[in-house]
Amino acid sequence: MSVADLTIPLTNAPGVEMPLIGFGTWQVDHAAVAVAAAAGYRAFDSATSYHTERDVTSGLADEGLAPTDRFLTTKIWRTDMSDGGVRRAFHLSSRNFGVDTVDLLLIHWPQNAKSNLETWKAMEDLLDAGQVRAIGVSNFDAADLDALATGSDVVPAVNQIELHPRRQRKALVAENRQRGIVTTAYSPLGQGGPVLQDPELVAVAAQHDVTCAQVALRWLVQKGIVAIPRSSNPERIRQNIALDGFALDDGQMARIDSLPRQLAN
Ligand code: A2P
At residue 50, the pLDDT reads: 96
Mutate to test the pocket of ligand 1, among 187, 189, 228 (most ligand atoms within 8 A of CB): 189
β-strand 102-107 against 182-186: which pairing, if any?
Answer: unpaired
Q: What distance in angstroms lies between residue 78's CA and the mean position of ligand 1's atoms?
A: 26
Instruction: List the residue whose alpha carbon is closest to atom 10 of ligand 1.
Output: 191
Identify the residue with better confidence: 202 or 264.
Answer: 202
User: Which residues make beta-bridge pairs with 71?
Assistant: 43
**Alpha-carbon span 30 to 25, nearest angstrom:** 9
β-strand 182-186 against 158-162: which pairing, if any?
Answer: parallel
* Active site amino acids: 50
β-strand 17-19 against 132-138: which pairing, if any?
Answer: unpaired
**Residues contacting ligand 1 via CB (< 6 Å):** 24, 187-192, 196, 211, 213, 229-233, 236, 239-240
Q: What distance in angstroms lies between residue 73's CA and the mean position of ligand 1's atoms?
A: 20
Each residue's pLDDT tens digit, 198-226: 999 999 999 999 999 999 999 999 999 99
Residue 262: pLDDT band (50, 70, 90) is: confident
**Alpha-carbon span 265 to 253, nearest angstrom:** 22
Each residue's pLDDT tens digit, 138-179: 999 999 999 999 999 999 999 999 999 999 999 999 999 999
Exposure string over 148-184, b if 16+ CB within 10 A, otherwise e = beeeeebbbbbbbbebbbbbbbeebbebbeebebbbb
- Mean pLDDT for 120-146 is 98
Q: 193: how many CB neighbours lie within 10 A of its CB?
A: 14
User: Which residues make beta-bridge pairs with 105?
Assistant: 74, 135
At residue 265, the pLDDT reads: 46
Mutate to test the pocket of ligand 1, among 197, 214, 236 (most ligand atoms within 8 A of CB): 236
Ligand 1 atom at minimum distance from 239 CA: 23
What single-letter DSSP state applies at residue 217? H
β-strand 23-24 against 17-19: which pairing, if any?
Answer: unpaired
Q: What structural domains does the chain harbor?
A: 3-191+220-245 (3.20.20.100)
**R_g over Cα of the chain:** 18
At residue 264, the pLDDT reads: 54
Ligand 1 atom at minimum distance from 236 CA: 23
Mutate to test the pocket of ligand 1, among 52, 195, 233, 237 (most ligand atoms within 8 A of CB): 233
Instruction: List the residue whose alpha carbon is closest to atom 21 of ligand 1.
Output: 236
pTM above 0.95? yes
- The answer to whether 185 and 227 are in contact (CB under 8 A) is yes
Ligand 1 atom at minimum distance from 28 CA: 2
**Alpha-carbon span 191 to 230, nearest angstrom:** 9
End-to-end CA distance of the chain: 34
Helices (H) and strands (E) counted in the chain, each on its own, are: 10, 10
Q: What distance in angstroms lies between residue 186's CA and the mean position of ligand 1's atoms?
A: 12
Measured CA distances, 135 to 93, 120, 122, 149 (Å): 14, 8, 11, 14
